[in-house]
Homo-oligomer: A and B are copies of this chain.
Amino acid sequence: MDDKKTNENKDLPIDRRRFLMGSMGLAGGTLASQIGFADDSAFLPPNSPPWTRSLGPGVLTNPYGRPSSFEDHVQRRSVDWLTADRIASISFTPLADLKGIVTPSGLVFERYHAGVPDIDPTKHRLMIHGMVERPIILTMDDLMRFPSTSEIRFLECPANGGMEWRGAQMEGVQFSHGMLACCEWTGVMLSTLLEEVGVDKKASWILAEGADGSHMSRSIPMDKALDDAMIVYAQNGEMLRPEQGYPVRLINPGWEGNTCVKWLRRLEIGDKPWHHREETSKYTDLLADGTSREFTYVQECNSVVTSPSPEKPWQRKGKYWVEGLAWSGNGRVRHVDVSFDGGVNWREARFSSVVLPKSLTRFGVEFDWDGSPQMIQSRAVDETGYVQPTYTQLRAARGTNSVYHKNAIHTWKVNADGSVSNVQIT
């Protein structure tokens, strides 16, 4: 019956206003056409499943609420072969199931070097010292008394997609792009704290150090600290989650997540970078000629289609909303195009969320699937004019040794059966 309906409508002119009814073979259909859909007939009027005829639990059954049990499949995931131990590993954001631009705090990807510390905020201190007039040790209460700012900004591990540099194809957008999240971050501008301590005019770098067992540390240029770096204590309206740095972390908007030191306990002001382990043996970009790029902080313009994706196959012919995420560490996303033939032809996508600088931006485009294989790509351009590169362009510039800052145009192949594969078009 579904096929019949599709066939009947196939040669009719499609009224653009009628998005679903024309060619999609709508499961529900009109009331008149419902009769033929055996698996849906139980839901014709009078449609009275149990929940329409009973009382549910009252308020405060969950003083801190949780998702429906029907959404239990939406969770962070990892791959065991990635690292030797989960104490120093990563989990991935389930991008295929997310909507809009805000990542729920419980689903933000995780990255630790010594597991999650369980910090008592009343006992945590943030010290700011070095080349300053007035070194200071702040309690969390002190920090809360400074003027606060809230900004919606993306957070991305620079290794996001890194496993695909040399052609590996991860199964699903959760693994190919899921070291990515976007939250509303609230805290104090780092520049405000630097004014408080009085920075030496010769100072040009800041070391940020975490309080966890790894004491992860990164060198941050003073320009960034005075621009938009934030000392953050809240995320999506509430205090930071433990795995996100509770009770306080650094956020460098648009920069690699590794620099956004969690469980922040110390900021040292100096006049040169420290060249610590996580900015020499790690988080440098090994180029084709054997040299390394160091301090490559910015997460450049990138995008990915999240639906369809291996997790979100197409079930039947007809209209779909093809959607995804775009972002740039250099500002706002200005434009996103989508291709269905592997980059030969492009269609302009529509932004379907608010467009903020250094934030995820949601885009989408309508597509009427005729059941033939498709090669779907997205290509983002940011407000600086930077265009997301192809794999060929990226590898020409940086070889194949690197695992960081991979932002090449990604391709999903939609197969004739609607399943979706991760393929590389160079």
CB of A290 within 8 A of chain B?
no
Contact B125 A241 (CB under 8 A): no
Q: A54-B213, A115-B55, A234-B99 are in contact. Are A108 and B65 (CB under 8 A)?
A: yes
CB of A404 within 8 A of chain B?
no
- Write the chain B residue with the least CB distance to A51: B117
Contact A120 B20 (CB under 8 A): no
Looking at A49, A233, A242, the one whose CB has the most chain B CB atoms below 10 A away is: A242
Chain B hits for A121, CB < 8 A: 68, 70
CB of A288 within 8 A of chain B?
no
Contact A116 B57 (CB under 8 A): yes
A62-86 near B? 1/0 per residue, CB < 8 Å: 1111111111001111100000011
Contact B352 A30 (CB under 8 A): no
Copies in the complex: 2
Main secondary structure of the interface of A (DSSP, over half): loop
Q: How large is the interface on A (under 10, 10 to 19, 20 to 34, 35 or more residues)?
A: 35 or more
Chain B hits for A315, CB < 8 A: 141
| Bound Cα distance from A106 to B66, whole angstroms | 6
- Write the chain B residue with the least CB distance to A192: B19
| Bound Cα distance from A350 to B31, whole angstroms | 54
24 contacts between A and B (CB under 8 A): A17-B195, A19-B145, A20-B196, A26-B142, A28-B139, A31-B137, A40-B125, A45-B127, A51-B119, A59-B112, A60-B86, A64-B67, A64-B76, A64-B107, A65-B106, A66-B241, A68-B242, A74-B238, A99-B238, A101-B184, A147-B352, A147-B364, A147-B366, A149-B353
